[in-house]
A and B are shown apart, each in its own frame.
Chain A
Amino acid sequence: MDTTLAVSEPGVNVVLQKALALAHASKSASASWGPFEVGYSASVALSGGTATLQNAPANKLDLQGIHVAGSVSAYFTFDLGKILPTICIPPFQVCVSIPFIGTVCTPQVCIHWPSVTMGVNLPFAFNLDVSFGFRVDDLGSQWGIDLLIDPFSPRFDLSPMGPVIIAAIQAQVSATLGTIPLIGGLIAGLVNTVIGTLTPLVSGIIAAFGDLINLILSLLDLLNVSIPFTLLKFDKTQTFLPANVPLMGDAPVNMTLAVLQAQVLDRELVAEASLA
């Protein structure tokens, strides 16, 4: 090989931290679980993490402890009429004597249960470890040293969101039902009915949130398993100057880096090129 370019492990960290600082994305989705319609969006940002280089023949870059933080904003809409039984109030009939009509007893009124729309913000954070291989790519007028992420399955636990969702819906339903007169004694039971309908569905809702977070992660350039992430790139044509004091007639020479190889040696990312 005619020429060598090396990037130290701290140098690789600097480059990767710049990439991580730009790694943020958001996406939204919606679905129904029983009577609950849920519109949800998640935003994810990456930060931190430490890159270590593994010498050949492994030729790997391990990026450990990437901090993944973000939040899921979920909007729940549900028609209480699809969950609660019909209740007619008042529980007693009220009569009044009207001289020119007679004794009039007022009708019971059956409650038209309202729809509830409420939002809940659910923050999350977890750490992620990933590994990359290297690949040299011909980018036309440039060479690129790309990172190829190994397929990964992020492990994170969103189950703490369950009680938060249930508590938020419980509070909202209580507040909504509290506005209806003469059912004060029934509210606790009615809220329990709603929560009883919701509880078996919560795990499915949270799983959908997890799927969305995974989707967002997979769309981030650095973590995309389908699209290589270009860590370094440089022009194929390089200008070489004489090593000593230039003499008359020693003009700079443009030479082409014809072939490039990349590997990790002594915990440095080393690119070696043949000149043409």
Chain B
Amino acid sequence: MDFVNSKHLTLQDGYLHLFQEEGVYIYGAQVTEQGPMEAGRIIVEGGKSAIGKGQQQDIVFHWDVSSQRYLPRPQDTEKKLGRNDFVLFHFEAPIPGQPPCYILGRIDKKVAFDSRSLGSHDAFSHFFMSGGEYAYRLGKKEFRLNVSDHRELSLEQHTKMAQEPVLIVINGSDPSVKNAKLVAGQTVIWAVGEGQGLSIEAYPAKGSSPSSR
């Protein structure tokens, strides 16, 4: 089964943050609390977009073996956004031994965003590579994801499904889809409408037999 945990991002994950406030943000992909912080800057200024109408920008990290830290692509070290634009942080080609990480952003030395603690207008995405019955908790309730093995479908069926991401909107501890059904090769996006301090940490559902890869 996949490792799905928004507190420990892997190659299959993405973290999205919407920038509503102007300012200069310092960001990094942290492996540990003690690691070096600044990997790049995001400058938010101007912009006339309303919430929900902003543009996507991508910041793509790679694991730098010599410095043992995640570095962004050169073009991502300084990003300029307008208000209500959003950034999707994700990863490029795998390097053997690269560890999971989390994305941290600061403004004026205060934490502005943290992938370990999803807040309103943040999102976490995971591209499922292996099937299985996954469960995760929001508050005290457990919710499920039934991920079929892609080999159970024809190539055409699978290709069609893979082009349809599964969107789960979370408000508080209430997801819009309680029991999602998808197939390996699909991406699930958990988008937080309202909420603070949330995380998605999936585990094999009780009574399921985890498929192995």
Query: Could you list which residues of chain A lie within 8 angstroms of chain B, going by C-beta atoms?
Result: 79, 81, 86, 88-90, 92, 94, 96, 98-107, 109-114, 178-182, 184-185
Contacts and interface: CB of A to CB of B under 8 A. Distances in A.
Nearest to B191: A98
B52 interface: yes
Interface stretch (B109-117, B179-187, B197-205): B179-187
B106 interface: no
Contacts, number: 116
Interface of B: 11-12, 14, 16, 18, 49, 51-56, 58, 60, 84, 86, 88, 90-94, 96, 121, 123, 125, 127-130, 149-151, 155, 158-159, 162-165, 167, 169, 183-185, 187, 189, 191, 193, 213
B54 A102 contact: yes
A107 B185 contact: no
Nearest 10 pairs of A and B residues by beta carbon: A181-B185, A107-B90, A112-B94, A181-B150, A181-B184, A109-B127, A110-B93, A106-B187, A182-B185, A86-B93
Contacts of B129: 109, 180-181
B125 A101 contact: no
A107 B187 CA distance: 9
B179 to A, nearest CB: 19
A101 B86 contact: yes
Contact of B185 (A90, A99, A103): A90
Contacts of A103: 56
A101 B90 contact: no
Given A96-B167, A181-B129, A104 B185 contact: no
Contacts of A105: 56, 88
B37 to A, nearest CB: 23
A29 B121 CA distance: 58
Contacts of B213: 114, 179-180
